[in-house]
A and B are shown apart, each in its own frame.
Chain A
Amino acid sequence: MTTGAGVEDLLRRLAPRVLGALVRRFGNFETAEDAMQEALLAAATRWPVDGTPVDPRGWLITVASRRMADQLRSEGARRRREEEAASRTPPDDLLAPAADAGGPRDRDDTLTLLTLCCHPALTPASQIALTLRAVGGLSTAQIARAFLVPEATMAQRVSRAKQRVRAAGARFRPPPEHERGDRLRAVLHVLYLIFTEGHTATSGPDLHRGELTAEAIRLARAVHRRLPGDGEVAGLLALMLLTDARRPARTGPDGALVPLAEQDRGRWHRESVDEGVALVARALDRTPLGPYQLQAAIAAVHAEAARAEDTDWPQILALYGLLERLAPNPMVTLNHAVAVAMVRGPRAGLDLLVPLGSDDRMSGHHRLHAVRAHLLEMAGDHRGALGSYRTAARLTTSIPEQRYLRSRARRLPGGVLRPPPDGRT
């Protein structure tokens, strides 16, 4: 008998393939997605008791098809179907095999589904919700818990996403050749957002959020398996693995953030580091350079230093230089300034921050003040550092970041706040 966790993994792997088969048969993405969720739920309750069927995918498709048939038979559904018929995709389009598909028995719809869920007509919040449900096989309740919103709010995002997909006339087939690059970039961005949401969660009561990193990595792996020659897909997967490898060391027992330089590197997840380093090295070697590869390469340089002081900063500086040319944005400039400071000294880094102070996107951003504080501290300007740490702490909307910034301020001379002298508290 398969265990509950084993069943869940199996179901989540099968979800996109079941959904693909349903959409192909019935041509209705919205109803098919609901039917697939119901079939997953039925399997999750029955398989651990009855045993996993010989053909799990066939079982799911049969159960979901029955639900869909019921749905479509009902009066309201029939009316909707008739309305849709006018704008309906010609049957040939639905039946034509995907360009990257294998045999008809085991057609792989994962990429097609991902591009559909990350359709440009959707907001990022809706792209994330639909991707996790339709491709990830997660329930709305699970997604809502992970994103710390009520289930009703998340249900709205899913249903809005489906409406938009339909209104945009999106079809269940691979996008035309000239759109594929952009559509794949959108998919990678959504996977990156899902990863970040999980990764930035601190330990403790946020376990559900942590699962998002695993889900993002699982989906990135799925894309990589299907597009092994795409350097940015490999780069993103490597970036996720290398970042996630630090998870055991990035928070203290009390949930406090531990900066990279102070992490216990012995607690980094070696296997993920090795896999990430190998992936990015291979991609850099064989494919055109891209921002995910560069970020992964930077993470790999950090990962390969046994101690923080062994970090190859000149190498990191060179990589940030490339990244700034390839994908310039103020956050990259900020990190570039840190690398400059580590190679040429804190004053050189601080000089690079000056233009950011007059950039509207950055002047009120806590990260600018946090970096300035670190560099001022490095330069021995403790008074200036104290002021910048306190500004950064006031600006951040993250509780663990605020705690960290306040703790940095307290280490400096004059940094400990005392109660007022008249004894008020």
Chain B
Amino acid sequence: MKYMLLIYGNPENWGHPMFLNVPESLALPAAERAGMTARFEELIKEITESGELVGAEPLADPLNTRTVRVRGGVAATTDGPFVEAKEQLAGYFVVDCESPGRAAEIAARLPDARFAAVEVRPVMGPSGQEM
């Protein structure tokens, strides 16, 4: 079962990895920050070697977002995100794992979960059972 783990973050101090750049994290002692990085790298190694990691991308600062709307057949492009929110989507992971519990466990080990939040969303698939 595939899940997308959506990492949210505050756009105030955009930079990847987010967990080293958000203001709350910048206030932490260096050793704690280094620990987060080490645990994050360990997690990536683990889900790569287990064959659970399917893909991941970091997203650019929401400042670079362009939102496109088509109304009455006319496309209008505006600068800035569709939804104005304090937290914006910062990046995602796609994992293919045994259970929703395992997906949530991976999400909890993303250091970003400590600052804003990580959403775990099942990816819809083309398989179906007769009913």
A interface residues (Cβ-Cβ under 8 A, vs B) = 123-126, 129, 147-150, 153-158, 160, 197, 200-202, 205-206, 209, 246, 250, 257-260, 370, 374, 397-402, 404-405
A397-B48 CB under 8 A given contacts A125-B98, A402-B124: no
Instruction: Output the least CB separation between B32 and chain A (Å).
Output: 31
Contacting pair A200 B51 (CB below 8 A): no
Contacting pair B54 A150 (CB below 8 A): yes
A214 to B125, CA, bound (A): 21
Q: Does B50 contact A (CB under 8 A)?
A: yes
A95 to B44, CA, bound (A): 41
Contacting pair A154 B51 (CB below 8 A): yes
A413 to B117, CA, bound (A): 41
Write out, one digit per residue, whether chain B residues 43-71 have a CB within 8 A of any chain A CB (1) or not (0).
Answer: 00000111111110000000000000000
A400 to B53, CA, bound (A): 25
Query: Given the complex, which residues of A lie within 8 Å of B123, measured CB to CB?
Result: 397
Contacting pair B96 A397 (CB below 8 A): no
Q: Does B76 contact A (CB under 8 A)?
A: no
A206 to B129, CA, bound (A): 15
Contacting pair A260 B130 (CB below 8 A): yes
Which secondary structure characterizes the binding site on chain B? loop
Q: List 8 A-B contacts (CB under 8 A).
A: A149-B51, A150-B55, A153-B52, A153-B96, A156-B48, A156-B49, A398-B129, A400-B126
A156 to B51, CA, bound (A): 5
Which of the residues A123, A258, A397, A400 comes within 8 Å of B1, measured between beta carbons? Answer: A397
- Which of B50, B51, B55, B125 has the largest count of A CB atoms less than 10 A from its CB? B51
A129 to B126, CA, bound (A): 20
Instruction: Output the least CB separation between A140 and chain B (Å).
Output: 11
Query: Given the complex, which residues of B lie within 8 Å of A124, measured CB to CB?
Result: 98
Q: Sort A-B residue pairs by CB-CB distance and give the 5 closest, nearest first.
A: A157-B51, A400-B128, A200-B127, A156-B51, A401-B128
